[in-house]
Amino acid sequence: MQQNKLENRQMTLASRPHGAPSKENFALKLSSLPEIQDGQVLLRTVYLSLDPYMRGRMSDAESYAEPVALGATMIGGTINRVVSSKHADFSEGDWVLSYVVGWQDYGVSDGRDLVKLDPAQAPVSYALGMLGMPGFTAYMGLKDIGQPKAGETLVVAAATGPVGATVAQMGKLLGCKVVAIAGGEQKCRFALENLGVDACVDHKADDFAEQLAKACPDGIDIYFENVGGKVFDAVLPLLNTSARIPVCGTIAAYNATELPAGPDRLGLLMSTILMKRMTVKGFIIFDDYGHRYPEFAKDMAAWLAEGKMHYKEQIVDGLENAPDALRGLLEGKNFGKLVIRVGQDELL
């Protein structure tokens, strides 16, 4: 099913998932193209970012952001082209990053939420990854909460994803020993060969915890938490005194329908935080660090221009494939930053 100039495809939330999201939780609706008023622009979606936080927005459990309403278009970051403009700052053909369009072909904006992109500087889709929210998350979490010092051991999971890959490479730039965790031999090889990490441990291995311990003979000083689950279980006993744990995600739990069986280790975690004098800090990137975006944008653009940051995307064609792709993302089936190509780059 192709994007066209006559109708707007909208991927809406049909029902709330119980466990992993499935196709049945989504419904594709067709509508006519929205019309714009003075001061507005009509946007066509070229790329849609898929990110783990979207699972939370599908649920009505209490979270840090409002859930998507049933029947409403799914939210998400998109790379758009301006189709037509009644706004002085935007012209037809401009590339922009938006967070108000979401999972659909066309959207309208008054310009306030838009960030203009220069396709000559970097591929526009990078603004959904290393040059955007995931990269910014990695940057601030590692720099501000992780407080890395040269020679320290930094462990990062989901190391081939956009957050993990940024953390891993920044860690190396800052002189840390970086131990990556990824799912499967192929991802681990990628991390070793392209991200420059010192070691990569496959969390699917039967002896994962032993391998991690072996890869961290001096313990762990910083653990960048974006997955949780059995990865954190293996990390916990290896944490050093004064360890720092920035927490930006706990993907392993996003599809959980009930708490895991006991014993209850909540008190154990608190005792460990005390005895190891650890810092555990959760953050939501734009809420906590929005004011520091320029610092990130400057550093990351320079690193990319200097060839110091390797970035891998997995681009899946077709808005209709977004539900399956999101489900796979939550199971770690993606390899690199997952992006849906909703429409073609060229003007229609």
Q: How many CB atoms lie within 10 A of CB 145?
A: 21
Q: Least distance in Å: CB of 227 to a second copy? A: 10
Identify which of residues 67 and 336 has a Cβ nearer to a second copy in the complex: 67
**What is the rounded CA–CA span in Å between residue 284 and residue 18?**
24
Q: Least distance in Å: CB of 229 to a second copy? A: 7
CA angle 21, 24, 27 (to 5 degrees): 110
Identify which of residues 166 and 240 has a Cβ nearer to a second copy in the complex: 240
Identify which of residues 129 and 246 has a Cβ nearer to a second copy in the complex: 246
Q: Least distance in Å: CB of 260 to a second copy? A: 5
- Dmax of the chain from CA atoms? 63
Identify which of residues 217 and 262 has a Cβ nearer to a second copy in the complex: 262
Identify which of residues 4 and 63 has a Cβ nearer to a second copy in the complex: 63
Helix and strand totals (H; E) in the chain: 10, 15
Q: Least distance in Å: CB of 64 to a second copy? A: 5
Which residues does 27 contact at the CB level (< 8 Å), separation at least 6?
Answer: 11, 12, 14
Which residues does 217 contact at the CB level (< 8 Å), separation at least 6?
Answer: none
Among candidates 59, 70, 58, which has minimal Cα distance to 14? 70
Binding site for a second copy (CB under 8 A): 62-64, 225, 228-229, 232, 241, 247-250, 252-253, 256, 258-271, 273-284, 287-288
Q: Least distance in Å: CB of 342 to a second copy? A: 29
